[in-house]
Structure 1
């Protein structure tokens, strides 16, 4: 089968391209810019475009599938040529469904926790050498690629994202998967640039639950009021499996899960991660993994990439980085950090740089998000606001919306870096929350 990727360099797209290459497909692609690690990984597989840009002449009638990434625009010349030739054009999730429609599809959804839960499930399955197809949004220890597709596997585990599928398909990605087994971890308003109201956002999850195949299974977080409402109001038939935070304790800086089989030591911390673990356990149980085997495997799970991930520093200072930027994720990460390091001076840094986080209306969602930290620092770039053509935001407004008068607010990367350099990282503990890089801050030094 011959496939062509429009915007092959994206984090999700390049992993799918590699998976198809490994499956034996003929893969080509284009992009106007490709960065690391996508560039090296595509080059290693021999599918890195020879030059950057869009080339309609690459689109020929013998292509079986064109896969369109979100980075491309509606007026992309390669897309126009594909339409002209009448080729089959897929979004990323649509193509994943095509690859898995004869399999049992397990879809992990939620505003927060879905990457970690999917990672936990895959870690346990890999530990017990249970082979499945998968798609996950983070690099995992022991996995070469974030996507795996085969002809033979019976199951496919998919991280289900509620964001848009492609520039020409404005459905939420997870609505295309039609899960046989689903999980919903939580609902907290996100992607305000697309879902203008909270109800618009919740509607995607209502549709997701409605898309579960008849007689399927939904594992859901019964501690989340919005999730419970969606589940209780669903009109389709599926088996409901609620879960909640399990019992645990922290002893000498180590987290122990309290189970019928005794105390299980874990390498992750935070109540939200224990909740994620419980959801993963329920899913693994539906896949034939008994509790004893689940606990045996989960002890060695060290976390998904950039999810409360410890950074090895030259000075041996204690520093964690977290992909958290949405309000619910920030609150969960801060709570976990404060609980884990009760007796240490705690520094928390948050970078606001997404459209949602820089929207004055959405900023209300961050109220008390940094409470509990000894030093709370928020950084956003005034230049980024200009690039995004957004109105200026004052540091005073940030403090007001966060409901934290002691918040330190930086709007200039150089000033932030100067403050950072003056801190003795061997004193106290540090957490850096962002899907960016704090204006180029080197966290290892």
Structure 2
């Protein structure tokens, strides 16, 4: 076993709590683990049609600059800053590029937008609007489109259109959308593109040719992409605490971490997942090791079918590295310990069969109030049902057996991280 030095905060006893002395779940910041938002890239600026002004020469060489590209929308992971998606608004739009100017001055690119999300966020593309990449012309002020040509005459605009499309294809070749669904892990801190901005228009310099030495037209910029995307937070922890309502998960989380989860002697005290971080120091090389622990809302019978609060939050444990089942072995518990374990095992198996493979530890909480026979009964059913899953008795309320619990969780987690 690993020898770890773990700092465990103690809970101060409180006999009377005023109604105004703590935040209720209703007054706490809203928790969102699934949201749909609209994102839009900025439009490209217009190209400029202008000429160098010279004495005794109405039109010098063309010097119209290109329009700036529209800003794009990116997404990046920002570890430790968020544990849900409530900070995101429903619409995110990047800035447009500015128009080009004379003197070969190109427009500036629009400002891009970066959406910061917690690790474990899954992004799905629901719908996308991409405008057809076609040339739209900007005529020089005071000039109109040329009339219909007679046989044998050269159309400068048609020649420029052919040339412009070649440039347009070359400039837009990098606008390739990624997968329709992808997930972001903790290492994805580099912004990744979600929605491209429009390419800026071309100045009249690009349409200078042997046949037309004074092109009096430029192109408009392309419009930016528009998308409707769905973000879903699935991975919020390395270890998930799963148990029935009022099994003592919140008290356990408060004892092991600096979290301040609400604790009450009634069911469904926790209605949103709560996150805490365990920090330990390894004795061999004195390196630090930390991981996140999540208190998942209590699961009841039928949670895999959508009953209670468990259905919405069972997905949070789908991608956790490992699960710990918290069982109340108090003889006065509403559901006996052996039945509680079987209920949790069945619900996890019904929701997704692979979930039961993540169960690495059974925490027998409230062991200070239980007889030895109660613990032996729980161990017997765990041995029959699982393959080598250990049962550790603890008392979160009296903070007994917690150091051994942290050592066990850390060792099991490290083993799974190496796989």
* RCO higher in structure (CA 8 A, sep ≥6): 2
Q: As a proportion of its length, which structure holds more helix?
A: 1
Length-normalised TM-score, structure 1: 0.28
Larger radius of gyration, structure 1 or 2? Answer: 2
Length-normalised TM-score, structure 2: 0.29
